[in-house]
Structure 1
Amino acid sequence: MDLSQLIDVKVNDNRMNALIEFNNSYFSNVELDEEFSIAELITPSNIINFLHKNEIVYGIDEEAIHQFCEDILNSEGENLDSSQIEVARGIEAENGEDGYIDYHVNLNSKVDVDGETHKIDFKEMMQIPIVETDEPLLTFVAPTKGEPGINVYNKKVEAKPGKVVTIKAGENTKHTEKDQTIYATDSGQVTLTEKEIKVLPVYEVNKDLDLTIGNIEFNGSIVIKGDVPEGFSLNARGDITVKGIVEGAYLEAGGSVFIEEGVSSQGKGKIRATLDIKAGNINQGNLEAGRSIYVNQSILHSEVIAREFVSCYKGHIIGGSISSGQLIEANDIGNRMSSKTVLYLGENKKVVEKKSYIEERMKELVEQLKKLKTIGSKMEQLQELRELSSKERITLLRQKRSYEKAKLELSELNDEYSIYTQNDMNYNEENLPNVTVHGIIYPNVEVKYSKYAKVFNQEASKVSIVYENHDFSINPL
């Protein structure tokens, strides 16, 4: 008899824990005279040797083994269902911490809209970082390597090093290896994107934009310290800052757009930013941001599109359409007059309309191909019976060209539609797009997700609206 008949050894998948368990079924079948030999076998030293034979040599818990032996002998093999104990434990590897960036200027590039940080300091958001030559912009903090571990087989377990965070030193900046810091090489405005940091020259207008200045296209950032009237256009490779009101004007920025007082466009003009748009309020505006849109007061009867967030935390959204990939939030949405207000989640309004057009066009093309195929078959049958007339030959040639053209268009539309379908699957339970209402959502507000929609017929307060499991769920905040 040996211990392998009495004791089972189990090692978990990561080899960090070893357990032993007494074989109750074997004990219950032994004769009385065999119990003495069993008692001699079940000793701490024998069990430790048994573990060693199974190559378990690190982190052995001798105290636990002593207790195990006492429990086995005192119980005489009865009621030992819970006798599985841990007898060895390795040391888990401690993975390294990711590197990060320590910013030396207040870039305010993104605003966290989770939890308590919903309360946005709008004055802080409108501060534009201006730097001088040789001023430090940011420092890279290196990731840590982590500490290796040891498993119960006394084998080294490597730790995963932290990830390196990098941002490219763009125009008018330099990166020094010695202190891992990026410095400005010229004075100007700091612009940060997901890939690089750069310092761009600034074009300033110290009054309202007027005909003496005209439209502005600048290879840097633009600052207007007054209003931008209807009909004017601003185009900047960096940011655009307007201290006053933007009326029906056209603004396009390679960075972000900051409008302190707000937008009053009467449905004219358009404002586009590669990054964020931040405004005091929006009235009958048309805005599109590659990242997020933050509004201090209200969004009224406007078309607003953002890839990530639309935040109007303190104010209300009334009328128009709001599209956001991740979050739409406001104090109130809609009004007591039941103004039609449409909220698009996940896919923006343009994408929804484009998909709808593709679906309808694909149906038309399928029907067109069926008709063309029928015409072609009839013409080919006729050709087998007799020679086609010149008019018939032209008809057959047109049919073949039309068929190939429709077939190609259908294939291209299928490819385009599949891209939209793949984008539909990019959400999971942790990042489902939602509408957050801190006050009241009123009747005649419609929430859309892809081809699905929910129209509110009565008021609801302090709710979150999420589309999941093929339905809209309304949850209290």
Structure 2
Amino acid sequence: MNDSLKNFTDSLLKDLEENENGFFKIENEDGLAYLSVFPAGKKGKPVDSKEILRRIELFQITESSHTIIKEIASKSDGLTHLIGKWPGKPESSRIEIEISEDKMKAFLIFHPPKYGGKILNSEQIQKSIGERGIKFGIRKENLDLLSEEPEYGKKILIAEGEPPVPGKNGDIRVLFIHPAAPNLEEDEYGRIDFKNIQIIQSVAKDQKLAEKISPLPGKEGKNVLGEILPYDSGKEAEWKLGLNVRLSSDGISVHSLINGRPILDRQGTIRVDEICHLENVDFSTGNVNFPGTIIVEGSIADGFTLETEGSIIVKKSVGKVFLKAGGDVVLSGGFMGRNGGLIESGADIYTRFVEQGRLIAKNTIFIEEASMHSELVAGESVVIRGGRGELIGGSCVAGKSIVCTKLGAIAETKTSVSVGIRPELLEDLEKLRLEIQKNKEILKKVEQSLIKLNEDSQRRQLTIEEKESLPKLSAIKQKYSGILNNLLGQEQSMIMGFEPDKDSYVEVEQEIFPGVDIYPGKGKNFKVRLKEIPGPSFVFLGNDGNPQITKVKPKRLGILQEEN
């Protein structure tokens, strides 16, 4: 030990000695009470005889003398002095041990000693724990602390098991690009290149499309009794295979059977679509119904239909056409429907613009420039941005969100947007209302016929045919009245049953013009009438159930999150 360290140690020990307070012990030996009082350091506080007397009273020690106690305290010689008798037989501290039902935790409750009994030390506590069969996960630091600084009556965790770690499930690694969302990167001018959204890909025959990753083993656990707890093994990934693919002989990989377009759909099914290349669609081809992907390099004549279970890609703008795809529909140009065209997709729709057309997508509709006087219906979202980003006129319905640069027009064009209600429910309601209207018209005609016949019967004798018509018309009236009442009840049930998505919203980057109606939930309307609202604007259904508009994204669950 060098001099500086020795000096420091000596100084520390001296300081501790000088500042140490006096202390005392009362012990039980064969029913007799013995007192030892230890002196304080030079700067420490000596033991007060009053504190000793209070402790003697608390312990109910008899035959003690206050005078003798004061003398022993005054001497503080550290020797053992007989001071009286304990009232009963000494009892050492005792413990209770509880083991949880799942055997993963053990607790100890420490009870204090009585009549000068001894406090159990760490070794004695560990022995009691061992006698209960507790072998694993013992927290020795807690036991040491208990014997040094007992906490009586408190439940203390003394052992904890290790739960098993489940094995990791196997997985499928897909080897072709399959973006869950399109690549909508903006250029330096804020425009999106719809020709490069990674929708069209191709693979060669026998090309590997995906491979299986084996599950990983887990780790055994152990309870406090030392019993082994088995882990749940990871599950083998299951292949979901569609058309034009084959499984390798070892079941590890999937390969293409053809040259085509690889697809991973939202259900996890892998397939390869055949690709049908067409220059044009007109009277030379007729309507096209093809199971794979259809790519049209040229134009599609008005009135023609393309239908496929795969995707449709058209390199130019289209007019009054009818496109229906189980997958995506991609228009490098735009869609001028002339109030008659219809494009339906079981996935997403991408187009540069739409005018007087109808778009229906199960997922999302992406438009670069503008939607003008059109009907848009998307199960998830409608996104109009990248170019002008205008939504002008017509109606737009989305289950989750509508995002655009400008909403409405300076000419106050009537524009309706709705979010928060699944479009299929709105379609069902519209069908129901058409049925109600049809039945009302039938009922009105029947009632008019009955009124006329009754009026005629007051003026003249009805013919045999007319007399036979009266009960028939009455029966028809009763029948359709019942049908109409039932339909009206269904309509009311549907309206009352609508629960808008609390995280749905409309986002407008620049202006919202007068003439716009925003419906953030069925029956809730945010009207823009007197003047335009500068952006950015977020319209959503507030916690009070009423429409709200803010300049920043509200801090809410789900889609809407406050920006950093």
Same fold (TM over 0.5): yes
What does the per-residue CA deviation read over 1:118-147, in whole Å, with 9 as the maximum and x for residues that have no partner? Answer: 997644325412222111222233444533
Question: Kindly tell me: are residues 268 and 355 of structure 1, through their superposed partners in 2, closer, same or farther at Cα, counting changes over 3 Å?
Answer: closer
1:71 aligned partner: 149
Question: Kindly tell me: are residues 415 and 320 of structure 1, through their superposed partners in 2, closer, same or farther at Cα, counting changes over 3 Å?
Answer: closer
Q: Map of 1:133-144 to 2, 5 A cutoff?
A: 133-144=205-216
Question: Kindly tell me: are residues 316 and 184 of structure 1, through their superposed partners in 2, closer, same or farther at Cα, counting changes over 3 Å?
Answer: same
> One-letter code of the match for 1:446?
I
Identity %: 22
Match of 1:204 among 277, 286, 309: 277
> One-letter code of the match for 1:91?
E
Question: Kindly tell me: are residues 357 and 226 of structure 1, through their superposed partners in 2, closer, same or farther at Cα, counting changes over 3 Å?
Answer: closer
1:472 aligned partner: 547
Please tell me whether the aligned partners of residues 342 and 448 of structure 1 are also in contact (alpha carbons under 8 angstroms): no
Please tell me whether the aligned partners of residues 500 and 522 of structure 2 are also in contact (alpha carbons under 8 angstroms): no
Match of 1:435 among 468, 488, 506: 506
Q: Map of 1:62-101 to 2, 5 A cutoff?
A: 62-72=140-150, 85-101=156-172
2:116 aligned partner: 36
Of 321-330 and 159-168, the range deviating more from structure 2? 159-168
What does the per-residue CA deviation read over 1:48-100, in whole Å, with 9 as the maximum and x for residues that have no partner? Answer: 3444566644211112211122121xx8x6xx9xx654322222333444443
1:382 aligned partner: none
Please tell me whether the aligned partners of residues 399 and 423 of structure 2 are also in contact (alpha carbons under 8 angstroms): no
Please tell me whether the aligned partners of residues 126 and 258 of structure 1 are also in contact (alpha carbons under 8 angstroms): no
What does the per-residue CA deviation read over 1:174-204, in whole Å, with 9 as the maximum and x for residues that have no partner? Answer: 1225252221112222344334332232221
Q: Map of 1:252-401 to 2, 5 A cutoff?
A: 252-314=324-386, 315-348=389-422, 351-352=425-426, 354-355=428-429, 358=432
2:173 aligned partner: 102
CA positional deviation for 1:264: 2.6
Q: Which structure would you say has the larger RCO, counting Cα contacts within 8 Å and 6 or more residues apart?
A: 1
Q: Does 1:59 align with 2:137?
A: yes
CA positional deviation for 1:218: 2.6
Q: Which has the higher strand share?
A: 1
Please tell me whether the aligned partners of residues 333 and 445 of structure 1 are also in contact (alpha carbons under 8 angstroms): no
Q: Does 1:193 align with 2:265?
A: yes
2:240 aligned partner: 168
What does the per-residue CA deviation read over 1:327-350, in whole Å, with 9 as the maximum and x for residues that have no partner? Answer: 322334334444333222233567
Please tell me whether the aligned partners of residues 504 and 520 of structure 2 are also in contact (alpha carbons under 8 angstroms): no
> One-letter code of the match for 2:519?
V
What does the per-residue CA deviation read over 1:11-40, in whole Å, with 9 as the maximum and x for residues that have no partner? Answer: 4x87644444556xxx5xx8xxx1532x43
Question: Kindly tell me: are residues 67 and 185 of structure 1, through their superposed partners in 2, closer, same or farther at Cα, counting changes over 3 Å?
Answer: same
Q: What secondary structure sits across from 2:535 in the alignment?
A: strand
Question: Kindly tell me: are residues 154 and 357 of structure 1, through their superposed partners in 2, closer, same or farther at Cα, counting changes over 3 Å?
Answer: same
Q: What secondary structure sits across from 1:94 in the alignment?
A: coil
Match of 1:461 among 521, 524, 535: 535
> One-letter code of the match for 1:129?
Q
Q: Does 1:181 align with 2:253?
A: yes
Q: Distance in 2 between matches of 1:283 and 1:139?
A: 44
What does the per-residue CA deviation read over 1:193-233, in whole Å, with 9 as the maximum and x for residues that have no partner? Answer: 33433223222123x54444443333332111123343332
1:221 aligned partner: 293
Q: Does 1:448 align with 2:525?
A: no
Please tell me whether the aligned partners of residues 362 and 410 of structure 1 are also in contact (alpha carbons under 8 angstroms): no
> One-letter code of the match for 2:404?
A
> One-letter code of the match for 2:352?
G
Q: Distance in 2 between matches of 1:211 and 1:348?
A: 38
Q: Distance in 2 between matches of 1:230 and 1:122?
A: 23
Question: Kindly tell me: are residues 97 and 393 of structure 1, through their superposed partners in 2, closer, same or farther at Cα, counting changes over 3 Å?
Answer: farther
User: What runs of 5+ residues in structure 1 fail to find an aligned partner?
Assistant: 373-389
Question: Kindly tell me: are residues 322 and 142 of structure 1, through their superposed partners in 2, closer, same or farther at Cα, counting changes over 3 Å?
Answer: farther
What does the per-residue CA deviation read over 1:138-161, in whole Å, with 9 as the maximum and x for residues that have no partner? Answer: 223344453343333445555455
Question: Kindly tell me: are residues 448 and 434 of structure 1, through their superposed partners in 2, closer, same or farther at Cα, counting changes over 3 Å?
Answer: closer
Q: What secondary structure sits across from 1:169 in the alignment?
A: coil
Please tell me whether the aligned partners of residues 360 and 376 of structure 2 are also in contact (alpha carbons under 8 angstroms): yes
Q: What secondary structure sits across from 1:280 in the alignment?
A: strand
Q: Does 1:248 align with 2:320?
A: yes
Please tell me whether the aligned partners of residues 398 and 419 of structure 2 are also in contact (alpha carbons under 8 angstroms): yes
Aligned length: 427
Question: Kindly tell me: are residues 179 and 350 of structure 1, through their superposed partners in 2, closer, same or farther at Cα, counting changes over 3 Å?
Answer: closer
Please tell me whether the aligned partners of residues 505 and 520 of structure 2 are also in contact (alpha carbons under 8 angstroms): no
> One-letter code of the match for 2:416?
V
Q: What secondary structure sits across from 1:252 in the alignment?
A: strand
Please tell me whether the aligned partners of residues 312 and 329 of structure 2 are also in contact (alpha carbons under 8 angstroms): yes
Of 226-235 and 181-190, the range deviating more from structure 2? 226-235
Q: Distance in 2 between matches of 1:179 and 1:276?
A: 32
Q: Distance in 1 between matches of 2:404 and 2:131?
A: 67
Q: What secondary structure sits across from 2:405 in the alignment?
A: strand
CA positional deviation for 1:287: 0.6
Q: Distance in 2 between matches of 1:266 and 1:295?
A: 18
Q: Distance in 1 between matches of 2:233 and 2:546?
A: 42
Please tell me whether the aligned partners of residues 56 and 153 of structure 1 are also in contact (alpha carbons under 8 angstroms): yes
CA RMSD of aligned residues (A): 4.2
Please tell me whether the aligned partners of residues 327 and 348 of structure 2 are also in contact (alpha carbons under 8 angstroms): yes
1:150 aligned partner: 222
